[in-house]
């Protein structure tokens, strides 16, 4: 993927061209973004469908939402790619090691959002943290926040459902990571790690010669571009499918279909949503279309958020990976604590809104 | 001959990294023994926290994300 980004054969562009390019892109982005609504209406008007018919509604919705979400995603993923280049697992570990619980949990949840993280390196990261003296509960705060609060989920919620829901998701996602990590820390479960993890002493300090050179701003831009390419490669199909489904629902399905099943009035809907979410495993992009569909059919917001958090934060494949470092008892506690947190958020939400 | 280890549990980026190492070595006409380390325990023991990681002759040179093509050439030909 990045193989074509830098080849020493080409003299690289001067830095000011990069800055100018990024600034020009931002301006162009803003100009186009503001015109999306009229543009989509204009294209819909060109098509041989009645604007206020079912298909007209569906098409207008699709033509507006797809470019909107794609543009938001490009901007935010690029920005996050640049921001993340200032952070690394090694630096985060240095900040967190020896931090007291409480403060440590809050920091860990925040850093979980900002540190580059791939769920495939959850195990090495877990061991790296614990062996360097990061408390177990603080490590969990990091590991819960990192996948749950991610920019793809936030952008899609913002673009498709509204900024209020995105902000709420951010706040409660961080909240659950902080509280669940704190509770797990208080339970003093260090003895429930797999034996080899307790005995391990990795050369705790960051390995000597690793890329500690400070990358320049242009390198950071390149990392941002690489992030955009990677995320788009993963999610574009999901977004098309999801918004397509949303468009159909928007155009055709009667509003209150789901009200009885997933509406706020049904007491068992939140627990059911959390339980259903555990075996399901997909990335944020895969679940948002479902979320949008459910909301569109009248499901209650709390129930839908609980479902979404459960799918993203609690997944069987991840548990199987973590089994290598955690005993089953500890995994059970982890699932129990996080699921209770999600449950509480879901029920609270349905009561408030 | 250099021994290059690529640390990663088998995600897509780790595979891409391994391919990059092999292709770069071939391009430079270098003979290297590429070894893939997928066991999480061994990865952790090597001090790698974010994968993919790369070590050349036992020395860790990279961890986290795809390596920069130019840097990779430098590590292999050093």
- Closest to A123 (Cβ–Cβ): which among B40, B66, B70? B40
Instruction: Give the angle A294-A276-A332 at the CA atoms, nearest 5°.
Output: 145
Count of domains for chain B: 1
On average, the pLDDT of chain B sits at 86
- Is pLDDT at A103 greater than 90 in this prediction? yes
pLDDT at A210 (0 to 100): 59
Q: Distance (Å, rounded) from C-alpha A121 to C-alpha A147?
A: 12
Residues of A at the B interface (Cβ-Cβ below 8 Å)?
A: 1-8, 88-90, 93, 116-118, 120-121, 123-125, 127-129, 131, 196, 200, 202-203, 206-211, 223, 226, 321, 324-325
- Is pLDDT at A5 greater than 60 in this prediction? no
Place of tokens 């993919």: B52
Summarize the confidence of residues A36-47 as an average pLDDT: 87
Q: Is A55 exposed, middle or buried (0-12, 13-18, 19+ CB in 10 A)?
A: middle
Higher local confidence (pLDDT), A111 or B50 = A111
Q: Distance (Å, rounded) from C-alpha A147 to C-alpha A284?
A: 9
Helix, strand, or coil (residue A124): helix
The range of the structural domain enclosing residue B16 comes to: 2-77
Summarize the confidence of residues A193-210 as an average pLDDT: 62
Q: Distance (Å, rounded) from C-alpha A271 to C-alpha A49?
A: 43
Is the separation of the CB atoms in A157 and A288 below 8 Å? yes
pLDDT at A146 (0 to 100): 87
B61 to chain A: which residues are within 8 Å by CB? 209-211
Residue B52: asked if its preceding bond is cis (omega within 30°), the reply is: yes
pTM given for the model = 0.82
Q: How many CA atoms lie within 13 A of A318 on its CB side?
A: 26
Q: Which residue is closest to A5 within chain B, CA to CA?
A: B69
Tens of pLDDT along A308-351?
Answer: 888 888 877 778 878 888 889 999 999 999 999 999 988 888 88
On average, the pLDDT of chain A sits at 82
Tens of pLDDT along A55-94?
Answer: 888 888 888 888 998 999 999 999 999 998 898 888 899 8
Tell me what ipTM this predicted complex has: 0.80
- Is pLDDT at A352 greater than 50 in this prediction? yes
Residues of B at the A interface (Cβ-Cβ below 8 Å)?
A: 7-11, 13-14, 16, 20, 23, 40-41, 43-45, 47-51, 59-66, 68-71, 73
Is the separation of the CB atoms in A112 and A149 below 8 Å? yes
Place of tokens 């036992």: B58
Is the separation of the CB atoms in A284 and A150 below 8 Å? yes
Summarize the confidence of residues A131-138 as an average pLDDT: 89
- Is pLDDT at A268 greater than 90 in this prediction? no
Give the number of beta-carbon pairs within 8 Å between A and B.
Answer: 104
Q: Distance (Å, rounded) from C-alpha A79 to C-alpha A90?
A: 21
Higher local confidence (pLDDT), A244 or A73 = A73
Output the CA–CA distances (angstroms, integers) from residue A332 to A122, A143, A184, B67, in the order listed.
18, 16, 11, 37
Cβ B47–A128 below 8 Å, yes or no? yes
Q: Which CATH number belongs to the domain containing residue B45 in this structure? A: 3.40.30.10
Q: What is the DSSP secondary-structure string of A174-185?
A: HHHHHHHHHHHH
């Amino acid at each position: 993927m990045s193989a074509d980004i830098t080849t020493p054969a080409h003299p690289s562009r001067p830095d000011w061209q990069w800055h100018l390019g990024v600034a020009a892109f931002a301006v162009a982005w803003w100009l186009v973004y503001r015109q999306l609504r009229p543009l989509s209406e204009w294209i819909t008007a060109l098509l041989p469908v009645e604007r206020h018919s079912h298909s007209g509604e569906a098409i207008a919705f699709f033509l507006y939402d797809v470019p909107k979400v794609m543009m938001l995603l490009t901007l935010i993923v690029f920005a996050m790619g640049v921001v993340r280049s200032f952070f690394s697992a090694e630096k985060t570990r240095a900040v967190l090691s020896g931090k007291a619980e409480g403060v440590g949990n809050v920091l860990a949840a925040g850093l979980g959002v900002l540190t580059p993280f791939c769920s495939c390196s959850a195990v090495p990261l877990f061991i790296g943290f614990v062996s360097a003296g990061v408390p177990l509960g603080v490590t969990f705060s990091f590991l819960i926040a990192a996948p749950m609060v991610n920019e793809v989920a936030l952008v899609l919620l913002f673009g498709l459902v509204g900024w209020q829901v995105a902000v709420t998701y951010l706040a409660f996602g961080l909240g659950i990571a902080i509280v669940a990590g704190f509770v797990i820390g208080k339970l003093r479960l260090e003895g429930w790690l797999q034996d080899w993890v307790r005995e391990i002493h990795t050369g705790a300090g960051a390995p000597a010669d690793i890329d500690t050179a400070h990358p320049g701003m242009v390198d950071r831009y390149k990392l941002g571009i690489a992030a955009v390419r990677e995320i788009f490669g993963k999610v574009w199909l999901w977004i098309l499918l999801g918004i397509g489904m949303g468009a159909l629902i928007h155009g055709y399905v009667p509003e209150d279909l789901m009200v009885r099943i997933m509406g706020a009035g049904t007491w068992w809907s939140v627990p059911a949503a959390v339980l259903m979410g555990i075996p399901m495993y997909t990335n944020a992009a895969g679940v948002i279309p479902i979320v949008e569909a459910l909301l569109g059919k009248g499901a209650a917001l709390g129930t839908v958020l609980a479902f979404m958090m459960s799918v993203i934060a609690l997944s069987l494949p991840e548990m199987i990976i973590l089994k290598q470092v955690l005993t089953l008892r500890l995994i059970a506690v982890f699932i129990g604590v996080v699921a209770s947190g999600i449950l509480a958020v879901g029920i609270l939400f349905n009561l408030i809104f | 001959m250099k021994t290059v280890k690529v640390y990663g549990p088998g995600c897509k980026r780790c595979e891409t990294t391994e391919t990059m190492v092999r292709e770069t070595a071939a391009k430079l006409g270098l003979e290297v023994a590429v070894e893939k380390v997928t066991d999480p325990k061994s990865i952790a023991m090597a001090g790698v926290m974010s994968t993919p990681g790369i070590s050349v002759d036992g020395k860790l040179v990279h961890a986290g994300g795809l390596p920069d093509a130019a840097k990779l050439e430098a590590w292999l030909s050093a």
